[in-house]
Amino acid sequence: MPGSPQLVLTVDRSGRGDHRTIQDAIDAAPADTAGGSVVVIRIKPGEEKVVVGKPRISLVGTNAGSTVVTWNESSSVVAASAASPSSTVSVLASDFIAKRLTFQVRVHE
């Protein structure tokens, strides 16, 4: 609903935010917030696989060059899942927004 308040959840791995991981913040967001939930990522996130399964979630970083959400995957897993490739972020709900951040998958032997 336009004009409905948004819940803001802050991710800061140092412990100075509401949550230490993006997934913890998403899990804590209520699924029925009319205005949605904004997850503000304060400092460079570490390796994390993220699943957005709730509607109206926004992920907001400080800038796309420094806020990089990364997942490392072995080449054998990537090869085995050719029909369903590995992803760092999976969005399974409507009304998702991402601003000022980068999603990256690193493949290693």
pLDDT of residue 85: 57
68-74 vs 102-108, strand pairing mode: parallel
Does any domain span residue 90? yes
Give the pLDDT of the chain (109 residues) as one tens digit per residue: 556 778 999 999 888 999 999 999 999 999 888 889 999 998 776 789 899 999 999 999 999 998 988 887 765 555 555 545 568 899 999 999 999 999 988 776 6
Long-range contacts of 33-36 (CB under 8 A, 24+ apart): 33/4, 33/6, 33/7, 34/1, 34/4, 35/1, 35/3, 35/4, 35/5, 35/6, 35/7, 36/4, 36/6, 36/7, 36/95
Q: Is 0.85 surpassed by the pTM of this model?
A: no
Q: How many domains does the chain have?
A: 1
Residue 79 structural domain: 7-108
Judged by DSSP in three states, 23 sits in helix
pLDDT of residue 80: 53
Does any domain span residue 1? no
pLDDT of residue 33: 82
pLDDT of residue 101: 93
Site of tokens 């699943």: 51
Does any domain span residue 64? yes
